[in-house]
A and B are shown apart, each in its own frame.
Chain A
Amino acid sequence: MSSEKAAPAILICNPDSKTSSEISKCLKENNYSTVQVHNGIEAQIKMSKQKFHTVILDMDTQKHTAFEVIRYIKFNSPSSRIIFTYENQKLMDELNSDNDFAFKLGIHFVMKRPLDFKALLNNIESNNLAQSWKNVKKIADVVNETEKSIQDEEFTRIAINQYAHSELAIFDLYLRIGQNRYLKILYKGCSFDNNKIEEYQKKKVEFLYFKTKDRGIYINFVNNLIEKYLDQGKINKRELLNLNKGLVEKYVEEIFFKGLNPELYEEGKKLAENLYRTIKASKSLGRYLDQFEEEEKNGTSYIFVTSIFAGAITHQLEWAGPVAHKYVIEGSLLHDIGKIKLSEDVRYTKLESMTPEQFKEYKEHPLWGMQMLAESSFISEQVRQITYQHHEWVNGEGFPNGLFGLRIFPLAKIVSLAGDFSEFIHEKKVSPLVAIKEFIADRETIFRYDSSCIKSLITSFIY
C-alpha cells in the first residue's frame, strides 16, 4: 500500500466521442485521471476492474442503457458518484415529471449538454474529500490573528494534542474566545506553524476549532496520514492510538449529525482497516489503553474504546478471520447509531437511574439502528446484525430478543462484550487493567458473554 495515491479516477460514458474527449481534457488538466467509454457494456467492464470516484454518464448511452449502468453501479460500486448528463430536454422533462427522478435513481448531479465545465469541475471537487486537501495552494503566511463573530453551531472542536496537521493548513483554524466569538489563528494555505500551537498549549488552550463543513476533509486527511504511518511503521503506538481516537471521534460526529453517505462509509471502512492494523501492531494493547487518562464520559470516546476492544478480542479469537475483523470494527463504529432517535431525557440518563418507561425506550435503540442502516444498500448484513444484536447476552437475558448463546450472531457477541466492558470502565472510573479483573470477578457478569470472547479479552492484556 502506498500513501501517495494516484489521482481520483473518473469514468466518462458518452456515445459521442467528441464530447467525451472534451470532458476528459478538462478533468485531466485538473489532476484527475479519466477513462472514456462509449457504451454501457464497456462501462461495466471498466467498473468491474477499477474503482471510480465519479461516473459521468450520458442519457443516450446504449448497449446497456444508462439505466442499466446506474443499476450496476448501485449494486457493484455504490460509493461511486453519478453525474448524469443529457441533451434532449423533452425526454428529460418526461422522465422527471415528478421532480424526483435523480433522487429515486440515486443520481448525485444532473447536467444539461453542452456542459458547463466549470460547474462540472466544481461539483466533482466539492465532493472529493481527498482532492480538497491535496489541492490546497500555498499562500503567503498571514501573521496576525483576527477575531470573528461566528455562530458556535458552525464549529467542531478537537483536543489540541490530538490535532493532526500537514505542512500547509488544509482549512482555517480557530480558537474559541467566547460565545459565538472566535480567533482565526491559521489561514487555509499558510504554512502550519507548530510553534504557535505549542505556545497555545503552554497557555492551557485545550481545543482547536474548525468549521463543521470541513470535518469530512479532516477525516479523509487523518485516515491517509494514519495509513502512511502504518506503512512506514515509524510512529510510536501511543501517538498512533491518539490519532485514531481523534479520527473516530470526528467520524462518529459526522455520522451522528450529518448522516451516513457512501463516501463517508468508505472512510469508515478505511478507518476500520487502520484501526485493525493499529491493533495488530500494538502488543499488549491493554497497556496502551491503560495510559489514556480517564476523560469525561462522552459517546465518541466510548465508541473508540469499544472498537479497540472489539478489534483486540477478534484478533485473539481462533474462529475469526479477516472478514470477521472487517465487519466487527465497522459494526463497532456504528452499533449505537440508533441512539440518535432516543429522546433527549433518555439519551442523557444513566441506565441505573432510568424509569421503566425510559428503559423501555432505551431498549429500542438496537432496532432503530438496524432500521437506519437498512436504508443504505451499501451496508452489509453483518454490520446491521451487529447493531441489532449488540445488547443480546448469551444467558438469554439481553434485548431486544432475549436470544440464547448459540442463536446470537457470533460477531455481535464480540461487540456486546466490548461495549459492556467499555461502559464498565467509564462507570467505575478505573483503568482497563484494573477493570478487567473486577469485571471477570463477578460470576453473574461472565455468564452474559461468550467464554471464548472473554478469554480473548483477557489475553489481549497479557501478550
Chain B
Amino acid sequence: MNMMKENEGALLLVDDEELILDIVANLLEDKVNKIYKAKNGEEGLELIKKHSDIVCTVCDIRMPIMDGIEMIKHVRKLGNEMPFIFYTGHGNEDLMLEVVKYGAFDFINKPGLEDLEEIFLSGMVMGEKIYNLPDDQKENSALEFNRLLEKLGKN
C-alpha cells in the first residue's frame, strides 16, 4: 500500500481521553493533510457538519455526552457514509453489535494500537473514493467481469 500524503481529505479523531487523541494524532500527522480532534460525539458531529473536507473518522465507542453509536447514527442521518473506524476493547461486545449496523469500516483493538497505520490509510482511501463513485458502476463491473472471464477461457 502506498504511504501517502496525497490524501486531500481530512481525518477526524474522536476520543474522550486526550492522551489517546494526542498519541494517535502524532502517529498520523505526517500521513494526512489535516486532523480535527473532538472530545465526544457531539463535538465530532459539529465538526463534520462544519468541515466537508473530513472523509474518515476514528472514533471511540464509550464517551460522555454523546457516545460513538449516537454519533454515527446522526452522521448517517445526514446522508454521510464516510468510513468510521472504531476503537474496541474487551467488554464492549454489546455496543459493537449495535454500532456495526450503521457501518463500521474497521477496528482498532485497544489497549494496543497495533495495525493503526494500515487501517487508517485504507479508511482514508475508501473515504475519498466514496465521493467519486460513478452511478453506472454496476454495469461497468459486469463488463469487466466478462472481459476477465474471456481471458480465463483462453488460459
Contacts and interface: CB of A to CB of B under 8 A. Distances in A.
Interface of A: 75-76, 319-324, 367, 370-371, 374, 377, 380-382, 384-385, 388-389, 401, 403, 406-410, 433, 436-437, 440, 443, 446-447, 451, 454-455, 458-459, 461-462
Contact of A323 (B118, B125, B151, B155): B118
A375 to B, nearest CB: 9
Nearest to A402: B101
A382 B106 contact: yes
Given A323-B119, A443-B142, 15 more contacts: A370-B93, A374-B93, A377-B90, A380-B109, A381-B107, A384-B96, A406-B81, A407-B102, A409-B100, A410-B106, A451-B137, A451-B138, A451-B145, A458-B149, A461-B152
A70 B25 CA distance: 31
B149 A410 contact: no
Contacts of B118: 321-324
A437 B97 contact: no
B107 A382 contact: yes
B104 interface: yes
A76 B112 contact: yes
A447 B90 contact: no
Nearest to A375: B93
6 contacts: A319-B125, A321-B122, A367-B97, A371-B93, A406-B130, A407-B102
Interface of B: 1, 81, 86, 88, 90, 93, 96-97, 100-107, 109, 111-112, 115, 118-119, 121-122, 125-126, 130, 137-138, 141-142, 144-145, 148-149, 151-153, 155
Nearest to B107: A381
Contacts of A371: 93
A407 B141 contact: no
A446 B97 contact: no
Given A380-B109, A409-B106, A385 B100 contact: yes
A323, A370, A409, A443: which has the most chain B beta carbons within 10 Å?
Answer: A323
A28 to B, nearest CB: 32
Contact of A455 (B96, B105, B141): B141
B111 A75 contact: yes
A58 B144 CA distance: 64
Contacts of A455: 141, 144-145, 148
B137 to A, nearest CB: 7
B126 to A, nearest CB: 7
Please list the 6 inter-chain residue pairs (A to B) with the smallest Cβ-Cβ separation, ordered nearest first.
Answer: A407-B103, A451-B141, A381-B107, A374-B93, A377-B90, A381-B88
Nearest to B141: A451
A407 B138 CA distance: 17
A433 B154 CA distance: 12
Nearest to B121: A321
A417 to B, nearest CB: 13
A385 B105 CA distance: 11
A433 B93 CA distance: 40
Nearest to A450: B141
Contact of A403 (B88, B101, B109, B149): B101
Given A321-B118, A406-B130, A454-B141, A462 B100 contact: no
Contacts of B122: 319-321, 324, 410
A319 B83 CA distance: 14
Contacts of A75: 111
Given A371-B93, A388-B97, A381 B145 contact: no
